[in-house]
Amino acid sequence: MSATRKEGVYSRRFAASDAASSVVPPNDSPADSRFHNPAALRRASLVETTAKRSMMQEPVLVLNATYEPINVTAVRRAMVLLLKGVAQAEEMHNAEVHSAANAHRVPSVIRLLAYRHIPQQSRALSRKNILLRDRNTCQFCGRVFPSSELTLDHVVPRSRGGRSSWENLVACCYRCNNSKGDRTPEEAGFKLARRPRPFTLHTSRQLMRMIGHRDERWRKYLFY
């Protein structure tokens, strides 16, 4: 899975002050020789900081109280929900996260304890979400690109009254975007890979499956 795709799905809104604070390997021992070697210690803490950061950003599937999958969040955010008593863990990783006083297993799937009504279309119209919907695929040439090599194309150009909407914006590589210019796809001899649509429940499920494909624990909630 590409880093860009991951980054698109769960945000990093949560500050370092969140409750859970350090990931420690299960067999970490204070007698470890690196504690007597400052350079090794610095290296080790750098490695641990990196491991901690990436573990805290691993995706966690969020279920509604009814077990319906509704979202994907990061471990950090999921742990806050657990500690606040808003959610309970349904599936766990083997890894542990340590806060000042306690050790916590890292969640893989959590469930909200109170039912939350999810509006049909709650996704904001944004570049990130358009690229997600289009799976980072240029909708004209059909090739997959990193996010940095994609732009958004107004199918009906703005100069011709095209709006910035889910139905009129698509992921597009710079090459196709340049050659299309200020023309409609028909005028430019281009064909859209798919008709652009707003995010639907179906799109969200597909994305959750893609994000969770490495985690067997998600399967039974996503039915595949």
User: Where on the chain is the footprint of Zn ion (CB under 5 A)?
Assistant: 138, 140-141, 173, 176
Q: Under DSSP, is residue 98 helix (H, G, I), strand (E, B) or coil?
A: strand
DSSP 8-state secondary structure symbol assigned to residue 73: E
Shortest distance in whole angstroms from residue 113 CB to Zn ion: 46
Sign of CA dihedral 17, 49, 88, 123: positive
Shortest distance in whole angstroms from residue 134 CB to Zn ion: 11
| Residue 203 neighbours by CB distance under 10 Å | 16
Q: Under DSSP, is residue 72 helix (H, G, I), strand (E, B) or coil?
A: strand
Q: Under DSSP, is residue 103 helix (H, G, I), strand (E, B) or coil?
A: strand
Pairing of strands 150-154, 169-173: antiparallel
Q: In whole angstroms, give the CA distance from residue 224 to residue 213.
A: 10
Q: In whole angstroms, give the CA distance from residue 222 to residue 90.
A: 14
Indicate the residue among 58 and 153 with the shorter CB distance to Zn ion.
153
Shortest distance in whole angstroms from residue 181 CB to Zn ion: 13
Shortest distance in whole angstroms from residue 8 CB to Zn ion: 19
Indicate the residue among 182 and 216 with the shorter CB distance to Zn ion.
182
- Partners of 144 in beta bridges: 137
Task: Give me the sheet containing 103-112, strands edge to edge.
Answer: 22-23, 87-98, 103-112, 59-63, 69-74
Shortest distance in whole angstroms from residue 185 CB to Zn ion: 12
Shortest distance in whole angstroms from residue 161 CB to Zn ion: 24
Q: With beta carbons less than 8 A apart as the criterion, state whether 214 and 5 touch.
A: no
H runs (alpha helix) in 57-164: 75-83, 127-133
Indicate the residue among 96 and 134 with the shorter CB distance to Zn ion.
134
